[in-house]
Amino acid sequence: MKYRLLGDTSVFVSRICLGTMTFGGRNLPPYDKVGGLDQATTAAIVDTALEAGVNFVDTRLQTDRIDLYQIHNFDPFTPFEEVLRALDDAVRQGKVRYISCSNLVAWQIVKALGVSERRNLARWWGWRRTRMKPARPIAIRLAGAGLIGPARSRRKVIRLT
């Protein structure tokens, strides 16, 4: 397995990240629409990934500390300051090393970074590239952060045998 630094953090991660959106969720709407793998299948996938050297798992796995915690959507009903204060608390308590986001547009990211700066809160390290393609260069320059995402044309698949 090949590893790389996660942006400018001190965290080394495998180049393959195990996504867990399809784990569990059976009989639990709305998660049953995308999830539903049973415990045995889930355990087999996780074991195979770990044996292959994967150390980058997109979920919370009964751990004392999370290296990278991402919020996944913008909440129009909760002020950025409240969200960022909660994330900052987790960082200051040592429960989370770095914070990040996905599925936010550039103006939301820049606004959150401004709130963090003004209130001296933990700063987002980076974000997943999803809906922000048109504004990506501007947001990267303003944020001084990194992008998390798949390689452009290559995807490596771990097959269960």
The pLDDT value recorded for residue 160 is: 36
The mean pLDDT values, 10 residues at a time, for the chain of 161 residues are 83 88 78 81 92 88 82 88 95 92 80 91 71 52 54 41 31
Helix or strand holding residue 58 (H, E): strand 56-58
Using the 8-state DSSP alphabet, how is residue 130 labeled?
A: S
pTM above 0.85, yes or no: no
What pLDDT, in 10s, does the model give residues 59-101? 776 788 888 888 888 888 999 899 999 999 999 999 999 888 8
Burial class (CB in 10 A: 0-12, 13-18, 19+), 134: exposed
